[in-house]
Amino acid sequence: MNDTISVTIKVWRQENPDAPGRFETHPQEITTDASFLEMLDLLNEQLNDRGEEPIVFESDCREGICGTCGLMINGRAHGPQKATATCQLHMREFEDGDEIVIEPFRAAGFPVIRDLAVDRSPLDHIIESGGFISVGSGAAPDANLTPVAREAAEKAFDAAACIGCGACVAACPNSAAQLFTSAKVGHMALLPQGQPERWSRTEAMVEVMESYFGSCTNHGECHEACPKEISLDFIAYLNRDYVKAKVKNRALSGQR
C-alpha cells in the first residue's frame, strides 16, 4: 500500500527576525507513508536542486520526545492528529488536493529566527529561574530510599512527560505559558525530593513566565494542542501553589 497524494504547501518564509515575512506556495506530490517532516525534507531537496533557499525548520529526535520540532499546521499546533508531535505526524492524515498552511509557533516571547524556526529560549529562562543543585550531593541514593506514594509518582510522571515544545503557548489565544510552567513546577512539587525549594521555585518560575508570556484565561486550547496531553489540573495546582508561595516565602525569609 503506497498511495500518493498531491497537496499544496503554503509555507511561511522569513529571511531574518527583522524581515517582513510572506507565504510561499509549493505543489507537492508525496507518498502517504512519509512523515510530515520527511515531506518538508523532500520539498527542501527540490528547492536545493532548483538553486532556491531551503525552508528552515527545527527537528531533532523525530520520535516525539525531544520537543524540538513544532509547526502550526492549518492553524493547529503540531497538526490535526491529537497527542502527536509534528515529527510523528504522517501524510496519511491529509487528503489528496488539500492545501496545507505551515506557520511558525507565534507569540511575542517566540520571535521568528528564520522561516519556521522560532527562538523558544524564554522557556529555558523559566527553567533556569527554578534553580539548580550547587552542592556536591554525592552519588545517586538508592531508588527505594525515599518512599513515594504511587498516586504522587504517577501524577509527577504525567507532568514530567512535558517535552517543552511550546505548542501550549502557540495554541493559546493569550500566548500564556501556563501549561508548560505548571508541568515543570508540578512534577517537582508532587515529589518529596522537590519539597525543600518548592515555594521559592514556584514563585520564581511564575514571575519569569509572566515577564514573557500572557495571562491564562482557562480556554483549554493548550491541553488540546499538547503532544503529551498534559492536564489542565496542573495549571490549577500552579495557581494555588503560587499564592501559597507568596505567603510562605515571606514567612521563610523572616519578614513578619
Partner 1 sequence: MVQSIRERYRVQPVRAHKRNWPFPLNIYQSAVGRKWVMALTGIGLVGFVLIHMVGNLHVYEGPARMYEYAETLRTLGGGLVPKGLILWLMRFGLAGMFALHLHAAITLKDMSRHSSEDSGIMSGAKKYAGGRDHIAATYASRTMRWTGPIIALYLLFHLADLTWGWWLGPDFVRGDPYHNVATSLASLPVAALYVAANVALALHIFHGAWSIFQSLGVNNPRYNHLRRGLATGIAGLILVGNLSFPILTQTGLINEDNRPCPVNDSTGLVCLAEQAEGH
Q: Does 218 bind partner 1 (CB under 8 A)?
A: yes
The amino acid present at 191, given as its one-letter code, is L
Whose Cβ is closer to partner 1: residue 3's or residue 15's?
15
Q: Does 204 bind partner 1 (CB under 8 A)?
A: no
d(CA 243, CA 241): 6
List C-alpha distances in Å: 248 to 10, 116, 199, 204, 245.
Answer: 51, 42, 7, 13, 5
Choosing from 87, 216, 228, 230, the residue that interacts with partner 1 (CB under 8 A) is 216
Burial class (CB in 10 A: 0-12, 13-18, 19+), 205: buried
Residue 213 carries which DSSP code?
S
Q: Sign of the C-alpha dihedral, residues 154, 155, 158, 164?
A: negative
3-state SS assignment for residue 94: coil
CB of 74 to partner 1, least distance (A): 4
CB of 139 to partner 1, least distance (A): 36
Which stretch, 16-24, 56-64, 137-145, 188-196, contacts partner 1 (CB under 8 A)? Answer: 16-24
CB of 53 to partner 1, least distance (A): 18
The contacts of residue 175 (CB under 8 Å, 6+ apart) are 106, 107, 108, 109, 169, 213, 214
The contacts of residue 104 (CB under 8 Å, 6+ apart) are 12, 14, 71, 72, 110, 112, 115, 116, 117, 118
d(CA 74, CA 80): 8
Total number of residues that touch partner 1 (CB under 8 A):
64
Which stretch, 35-43, 56-64, 140-148, 214-222, contacts partner 1 (CB under 8 A)? Answer: 214-222
Instruction: Transcribe 105-156 into DSSP letters.
Output: ---TTS-EEETTEE--HHHHHHHHHT----S---SPPPTTSS---HHHHHHH
Choosing from 36, 94, 199, 212, the residue that interacts with partner 1 (CB under 8 A) is 212
CB of 131 to partner 1, least distance (A): 18
* Residues in contact with partner 1, shown as a per-residue x/- string from 226 to 255 under the rule CB under 8 A: ------xx-xxxxxxxxx--xx--x----x
Q: Does 199 bind partner 1 (CB under 8 A)?
A: no
3-state SS assignment for residue 55: coil
CB of 99 to partner 1, least distance (A): 9
Query: Could you say which residues in the range 101-130 bind partner 1, by CB under 8 A?
Result: 101-103, 106-113, 119, 121-122
Whose Cβ is closer to partner 1: residue 21's or residue 65's?
21
Q: Does 73 bind partner 1 (CB under 8 A)?
A: yes
Q: Which residues bind partner 1 (CB under 8 A)?
A: 10, 12, 14, 17-18, 20-21, 23, 72-76, 101-103, 106-113, 119, 121-122, 172-176, 206-207, 210-221, 223-225, 232-233, 235-243, 246-247, 250, 255
